[in-house]
Structure 1
């Protein structure tokens, strides 16, 4: 779970940085994109956590 969570957040943050850099949107828009993608990554991680807990509730 930890490894997958780190990878999800890394993709979210680097994706926001890359999109802002590609379209030359500036630092503030880049940070906003990172925040939006980070919230999406947190939601995905929560969904993954719930599904994993259903498969192995004691692990």
Structure 2
């Protein structure tokens, strides 16, 4: 779960940085996009955690 979480957050931050760079949106918008995508990544991780623990519960 830790490896998947790190990868998901890394992709979210990289996507925000890349979109801000391609469209020349500036640092403030870039940081906003990184934050927005990180919130989406957090949502994905919570859903993955719930599904994984429903299949194989933690003892």
Query: Aligning the two structures, in what range does the TM-score lie when normalised by the shorter sequence?
Result: over 0.9
Query: Tell me, which stretches of 5 or more residues in structure 1 are unaligned?
Result: none
Q: Name the TM-score, length of structure 2 as normaliser.
A: 0.97
Q: Match for residue 7 of structure 2?
A: 7
CA-based RMSD of the aligned residues comes to 0.8
- Asked if 1:37 corresponds to 2:41, the answer is no
Q: What is the TM-score with the length of structure 1 in the denominator?
A: 0.97
Distance in 1 of aligned mates of 2:51 and 2:5: 14
For 1:58 and 1:25, the matched residues in 2 are separated by: 44
Q: Number of residues paired by the alignment? A: 59
